Amino acid sequence: MARRETALQTAQGQLRDLIGSEFRTGDKLPNERELADRLAVSRATVREVLGQLAAEGVLTRTWGVGTFVSEPAERVPVSIGDVTALRDRITASGHRPALQDATVSRAECPDDCAKILGLDVGSPVWRVDRLFAVDGVAAAWIRDHLPLRVGERELDPSGLVSIDLDMFEFLAGATGMPVRRAEIEFAAVLADEAAVGRLGVPIGHPLVSATQIGYNAEGLALFHGHITVRTDVLTLRITRGA
């Protein structure tokens, strides 16, 4: 299975390069046999890759007519240079945010966030799993972990299943300590089975993964999260002041 997925990813990358270098919006691609010869892969592989790119909106396929390069879809620019709700960043870009799915549950603290939150690995934490959509298209999958309490205050993040309450707003009200600084570390990844199920993209689809940590004014970590973003829907932008 791993070899097959690697072969598909390689073929998809080759076809993306070919489209980018030789074809423009509206151009018709060669037939499957010609593409298979050019990419040195089977027609079955070409057919599957064409289907993946069509699902992403890169190509348009019309039965009996052919496969054409699609008009590039508009991507929503989202600034990550300040501590602002994702909902508000999307709205500010003139688009409609929504929560397609959201759950809050108790879980065991994962290894990667235990040290950050000052907890033992496996100790109970809150897990907040949310799937954000932009104009009805799944765009960002966010998994946050929070301690059960901060100081003397017990946390109840159940309200985060609503688009009307953001993590930063929740923490400011629940702890009395607003998030003053957020650290985000990015990595380019390819969609695995979990991302396929949540974001509706084909296996191997290019994504951006980010780890985010939110701190209060005293440097106490209030949450640790993972964000997976479809960059064909959202464009992440960093703005720095002079």
Q: Is 2-69 a domain of CATH 3.40.50.300?
A: no
More confident residue, 202 or 121: 121
Over residues 217-231, the pLDDT tens digits come to 899 999 999 999 998
| pLDDT at 3 (0 to 100) | 53
- The answer on pLDDT for 241 being more than 50 is no
CA distance 216 to 52: 43
pLDDT at 20: 81
pLDDT at 215: 92
Q: Summarize the confidence of residues 26-45 as an average pLDDT.
A: 91
Mean pLDDT in the chain?
A: 85
Polymer length of the chain: 242
Q: Residue 240 above 60 pLDDT? A: no
pLDDT reading at 2 higher than 50:
no
CA 222/CA 155 separation, integer angstroms: 11
Whole-model pTM: value is: 0.69
What's the pLDDT score for residue 79?
55
Integer-rounded Cα radius of gyration of the chain: 21
* Beta bridge partner(s), residue 17: none
Ranges of CATH 3.40.1410.10 domains, the chain:
76-237
For the chain, residues classed under CATH 1.10.10.10 are 2-69
Topology of domain 76-237 in CATH is: Chorismate lyase (3.40.1410)
Structure tokens given for 75: 């991507």
**Could you tell me which residues come within 8 angstroms of residue 77 by beta carbon, excluding any fewer than 6 positions away?**
93, 234, 235, 237
Percent of the chain at pLDDT above 90?
45
Looking at residue 123, what is its pLDDT?
Answer: 95
Q: CA geometry: angle at 163 spanning 159 and 167, to 5°? A: 60
